[in-house]
Amino acid sequence: MKTLKSFSSSSSSIISITLVVVITLSLSHDPVVVNGSTAGGDDALDFNRWYEHIVNGLLSGSNRTLLVHCGRKGKDFGDQIVNVRMEFTWSFKDVFGKKVYWCYLRKANSEHATFNVYWKESDYHTWLGYRCKWKHCIWIAKDDGIYIKNIPENIDELVHHWEK
């Protein structure tokens, strides 16, 4: 009987350690998908998970691919080539509100733009959170500049012009 009690106690410890490791890994994982979207699933209860979408909305034709290079301090996604009507997407958790993600986009004609795509906002300033509906930030590269999809109002808002 004493052995059984000792075994169940050590099993509980192993389960507790395993849960801590799994939770820690899930908080730090930043999956990247090119020219597709992140795996589905019900994220309605996952309040801290954000999804970034960089969409190539350039007009169809030759030389309409988009170079996308995004990252944050300590995490660089590298150069990605995104075809017309496709997207570069990633998701992340910002439990402590310290992450800032940025992107550099360049068209085939060398016009480019660098801008932040995610930052922690205060309770009183929710420009990004409102437009992204506190979950999905959709940035669209169009011929005249970079737009953000204002999800609640269902409009695209010009935020950045291309630089030469």
Q: Which of 142, 11, 116 is nearest to 158 (CA)?
A: 142
Give me the mean pLDDT over the 16-25 stretch: 34
6 pLDDT above the threshold of 90: no
pLDDT of amino acid 122: 87
d(CA 164, CA 145): 12
Alpha-carbon 67 to chain mean position: 17
Give the chain's length.
Answer: 164
pLDDT, residue 1, reads 44
pLDDT in tens, 104-139: 999 999 999 999 999 989 888 899 999 999 899 999
Which residue in the block uniquely carries the two structure tokens 């169809």? 60
Instruction: Please state the rounded mean pLDDT for residues 6-31.
Output: 38
Residues 6+ positions from 34 with CB-CB distance below 8 Å: 80, 82, 88
Per-domain residue ranges of the chain = 1-29, 31-161
Q: Does residue 10 register a pLDDT over 70? A: no
pLDDT band for position 14 (50/70/90)? very low
The 10s digit of each residue's pLDDT in 24-43 is 333 334 444 455 443 344 45
pLDDT tens digit sequence for 38-64: 334 445 567 789 999 999 999 966 789
**Positive or negative torsion for Cα 108, 117, 23, 47:** negative
pLDDT computed for residue 94 by the predictor: 85
Considering the entire predicted model, what is its pTM? 0.73
- The set of residues, in sequence order, having a beta carbon less than 8 Å from that of 109 and lying 6+ positions away, is 63
- Are residues 53 and 136 in contact, defined by beta-carbon separation less than 8 angstroms? yes
Listed range (80-89, 94-103, 128-137) with the worst mean pLDDT: 94-103
- Provide the mean pLDDT of the chain: 79
- Assess whether pLDDT exceeds 70 at residue 164: yes
Angle at 32 between CA 115 and CA 106, to 5 degrees: 35
Instruction: Please report which helix (H) or strand (E) contains residue 131, including its range.
Output: helix 127-131
Domain 31-161 matching CATH 2.60.40.3110: the answer reads yes
pLDDT value of residue 60: 65
